Amino acid sequence: MKLLLTIVQDADAARLQETLAAQGLQSTKLASTGGFLREGNTTLLIGVEAAEVERVKAIVGETCRERTKVMSATSPIHALEGVFTSPPLEVPVGGAIVFVLSVDEFLRL
Ligand code: 2BA
């Protein structure tokens, strides 16, 4: 069995989870925060048989799209003071980051 630890943008999460469910694939949604942008994103835990991994990767790839986020280089307190150290930075985010992990055991107790 494999676990796909899948980090997506919040805007894509509901549709991805619905698409997975419609194809009989189970997932668990976790609220997460990116270390670089410090913004919310969504992590889905998707446990599947090894033979299903490529199908899940295809669904994730089709459902999640790349977007550009604007990152302000100043903290809110500096912005209030009118101190701008550098211009806003455009950062591409997504479609999705996927870690495929091997699962030693899957138990439902
Ligand atoms: P964040 O860490 O908030 O990163 C958002 C986007 O910022 C990244 O998009 C990437 O385009 C850019 N970025 C990240 N670190 C950067 C840096 N040091 N310099 C310049 N640009 C940088 P994605 O690569 O699509 O990642 C989306 C989210 O997936 C990340 O949000 C993070 O939550 C997660 N992620 C990505 N790679 C990861 C990794 N190796 N380990 C754990 N989580 C990861």
Predicted pLDDT of residue 72:
76
- Strands annotated E in the chain: 2-8, 28-33, 40-48, 67-71, 89-93, 96-102
pLDDT at residue 81, as a whole number: 62
95 lines ligand 1 (CB under 6 A): no
Sequence-ordered alpha helix ranges (H) in the chain: 10-22, 53-63, 76-80
pLDDT value at position 76?
A: 53
- CA dist 44 and 46 (Å) reads 6
Q: Is the CB of 71 under 6 A from ligand 1?
A: no
Give the mean model confidence (pLDDT) for residues 47-70: 97
Regarding the beta carbon of 92 and ligand 1, being less than 6 Å apart is answered: yes
Q: Model pTM?
A: 0.90
Split at pLDDT 50, 70, 90, the class of 25 is very high
Residue bearing the bigger pLDDT, 88 or 67 = 67
* In contact, 4 and 102? CB cutoff 8 Å: no
Residue with the nearest Cα to atom 17 of ligand 1? 36
Inter-helix orientation angle 53-63/10-22, to 10°:
140
Looking at residue 16, its pLDDT comes to 98
Distance from C-alpha of 79 to C-alpha of 94, rounded to nearest angstrom:
28
Residues 98, 3, 56, 54, Cα dihedral to 10°: 90
CA angle centred on 94, ends 74 and 71, rounded to 5°: 10
Q: Is the CB of 37 under 6 A from ligand 1?
A: yes
Is residue 73 very low, low, confident or very high in pLDDT (cuts 50, 70, 90)?
low
